[in-house]
Structures are given as C-alpha cells and as structure tokens.
Structure 1
C-alpha cells in the first residue's frame, strides 16, 4: 500500500470520535447545570418561586 493511501486511510479513521463527543456533551451539560444553579439560587428567582408556591398553596 502506498504512503499516500495509508495517510488518507488514517486521516479518515474516526475511531475515538464518540469519546470526544461524549466529553463535549458532558462539558456542555455541566456548564448548563452551573448556569441553571446560579440562576435558581439568585434572590430574584427565589423570591418569585416563593411567591408562586405561596399563591398555589393558599
């Protein structure tokens, strides 16, 4: 097999791509969870949720 053919075959080989995709997906999920946690623990959102729950229970 020629050097060029081996190089092309090696460049087209995508073994390990699923692992990289899982890593990127995991990082995105962790970043989203961090942002969501920050938003939900802010005083404005906590006040709104408390008011909503109080109104629902009355």
Structure 2
C-alpha cells in the first residue's frame, strides 16, 4: 500500500483536524469520574470513616 506524499497543505489538514477530540475528552473525563467514585465508595465503606461521618452529623444536629 502506497501513501500519497505528505505536503505542507495535507499535513496542515491532517494535524489540525479536531474531529472526535471532544468525544475523547468526554470519555477520559467520564473514566476519571468513575475511578474517583470507586475510590470514594471504598473509603466510605470503612468503619472508621463511617463513624467519623456519623459523629459529625450527630454533632451538627445536636442543639447546644
């Protein structure tokens, strides 16, 4: 298979084309959000964190 020669005009068209870039950015951001959510789930399942949050809510709701 032979490719056509890479001229300045053709290179500019190839390397400045942003088709699909937004979709890729959304996909990466979505994967990062899912990973972060998974990390939060793991942290929130620990008894120590659950106790800290429960104590925080109790103190916030207690009338002093």
Aligned residues: 57
Greater C-alpha Rg: 2
Point out 4+ residue stretches in structure 1 off by more than 2 angstroms.
50-58
> What is the RMSD of the two structures over their aligned residues, measured on CA atoms?
1.8
TM-score (norm 2): 0.72
Specify which structure has the higher proportion of helix: 1
Q: Structure 2 stretches of 5 or more lacking a match?
A: none
- Structure 1-normalised TM-score? 0.78
Structure 1 alignment gaps of length 5 or more? none
